[in-house]
Amino acid sequence: MTQVLGVGDFLAWQGGCLVIGHAYRATGLHVHYAMQLSFGVTDGIAFRARESEPWGAHGAAVIASRQPHMMDGSVIGTSATMLLELETPVGRKLQEIFARDGITSIEYARIEHVAKVLFATWEAHRDGEATAAAARAAIRALTGDTQPQLLSDERVIKAVAYINAKLSSPLSLRDIAGHAFLSPPRFRHVFVEQTGSTLRPYVLWRRFLRAWEVIRQGDAISAAAHEAGFADAAHRTRTSRRMFGFAPSALLVGRQGWGAVTT
């Protein structure tokens, strides 16, 4: 039996991405590297940290990096989720203000104006740059334009650029650390200190962003998996469920929707 998760669009920019659309069911329990900001066209988007907990309604919610969670946007129909990398200034600032740990609730009044602008822009422009700009404006409404107290290490920034350039190839700790001119043990320590994540989850996160971009360009899921550097389809399926709460087919976006999810 298959069920449709939802219909919407995916947009990416340097350091972040947006999934926006009409949700029909909740995600499964999952964990990912990025900071997350989610809200709906109305108050009441639902989250919980484990399957045994009741759902909690939020005006908007900030989810800390590596925080297990489930999301149900179907209770409000239309929702937006922004995923932001920790080594970016805006990702670090979001972490400092709202969510070093856990699921932080934000009153809808604080986000309502920019939320309405974002959803109206999406209805008019779908996956165009205007929608991405409206999403970034929504983030700035919460973080402001000030810089975070803790800036990323230049060696980490250099390593991240190397990872992004080599996603379709095997990536080892030794190679990445060497590119940053650090020993593997020292690089491991610096990377965790700066990003809040170990290297492997971060690389998987970047592979998924790349796969989403390839799918959005119209390529098949199998081609996207190869381009993003996954070992095989089974590996990508397992990782997708763990990191996003749904199967790889649910990453289909645009006119095809978010995909059919096997249940």
**What pLDDT digit, counting tens, does each position of 73-105 carry?**
999 989 999 999 887 788 888 888 987 779 999
Per the document, the length of the chain is 263
Average pLDDT on 207-213 reads 78
Fold of 154-244: Arc Repressor Mutant, subunit A (1.10.10)
* 250 band by pLDDT with thresholds 50, 70 and 90: low
How far apart, in whole angstroms, are the C-alpha atoms of residue 184 and residue 168?
21
Place of tokens 């107290």: 149
The neighbouring-strand residues paired with 103 are 63
Residue 130 DSSP one-character state = H
Domain ranges for the chain: 2-143, 154-244
CB atoms within 10 A of CB 238: 12
Tokens of 108: 């809808």
pLDDT value at position 185? Answer: 95
* 200 band by pLDDT with thresholds 50, 70 and 90: confident
CA distances from 115 to 42, 58, 93, 131, 258 (A): 9, 14, 20, 11, 21
How far apart, in whole angstroms, are the C-alpha atoms of residue 206 and residue 140?
23
How far apart, in whole angstroms, are the C-alpha atoms of residue 82 and residue 17?
6
pTM across the whole model: 0.81
Instruction: Give the residue from 123, 143, 180 showing the smallest Cα distance to 9.
Output: 123
For residue 157, what is the enclosing H or E element? helix 154-165
pLDDT value at position 235? Answer: 73
* Whether residue 64 has pLDDT greater than 90: yes
pLDDT tens track for 187-197: 999 988 877 77
Instruction: Kindly report which listed range (69-83, 151-165, 228-242) carries the lowest average pLDDT score.
Output: 228-242
Best CATH choice for the domain 2-143 from the list 3.40.50.300, 2.60.120.10, 3.40.50.2000, 3.30.70.20: 2.60.120.10
